[in-house]
Chain A
Amino acid sequence: MNAEAEEQFREFVTARWHALLRTAYLLTGDHGQAEDLVQTALVRAHRHWTRIRRSDAPEVYVRRILVNLNNSRWRRKRVAEQVTDVLPEPPSADPHAAYDVRDELWSAVLTLPPRMRSILVLRYFEDLPEAEVARVLDCSLGTVKSQTSRGLDRLRVALKREPETARRDR
């Protein structure tokens, strides 16, 4: 890679790191894994940067790598840390956070399969249109729609709310 491309990569990392890290955290639910995921994605992106940088939106490519890396890690069942003696996470800055319904929802989100969670994160955090989500995940629009619907239903069940499909079937 030439110096100009390297500099451009550096600028990209500096500018987009935090946004990518936020997405990665929502995908993994763990700060450490999120950072590892972003770095792994950036290492991959760096290897193909001369090609990626020519595109209009390098971030789309990097985000795609990020999401697919996360999904494939799970698909291959390679996320397998077995902690035998874990320190408790530091307490939340917000003492009332534990009582927030968002915690309940977040806990439910973490139980979703990674691909389903990816779709929800891309739809409701990144605010990507369904077609763009399909492009990032390299799947059909129908898959995005059905996975979104099923994901929301699973969250409703977890929150003990009536699933949308149940209401429709009635």
Chain B
Amino acid sequence: MEKLVISDIPEMFDHVGQVFAERKDELCAMDAVMGDGDLGLTMSKGYGVLPGFMRDLESEGDIGRMMFKAAMKMQNTVPSTMGTLMSSGIAEAGKAFKGKTELVPADMVTYVIQFAAGIKKRGKCELGDRTILDSINAGAVKAVDYLSANPEASFSDVMAAATRGAEEGCEATRDMLPKYGKAVVHAAKAKGIVDQGALAGKYMLEGIESYFACQDQTAGL
């Protein structure tokens, strides 16, 4: 697979939705300890409706506009903190893709970078605050490094690098204290535990990675 066209994007997010459907109970159980207990529901619902919103907007003919508008609709469907952060990430990537009718592997690196920027901008959080930013940013750094060392990298390669980075970012949250949102109240319970928001960020990247892995498999790569 050398490029993505607009009609491929909803299917890519279908894979993200599938990952969150499988991880729903796990995320809810983690969030019950550190937050409201609804993270798995929010993510599976939000990413469950996103591909449909995108398909409705395919006639825009512009990947960026489609992603931005669909992200806004997703935010309206799941307006909780993590729903808003996820949609802010997608919307920010959408802004960077404005006018694009196809994406190449380097654009997926841009996607992860912009996703992190969107979260930081809207959530006003910093690295080390024990949030989703800690996994997504680590994923972005790894993907950038991988691409600069391997300019001919495939979609699967860059997303695998992003997921590996996010995994490391998740592990790093075990030693971080929450400084943001309701988790602050439960700070004493955070030690040694992966942040559930950071993990949701990793699952989002895993979903995209699984889409490209499926495409490679279909193509017999």
State whether these chains interact.
Answer: no
Chain A residues at the B interface, C-beta cutoff of 8 Å: none
- Taking Cβ atoms with an 8 Å cutoff, the residues of B that contact A are none
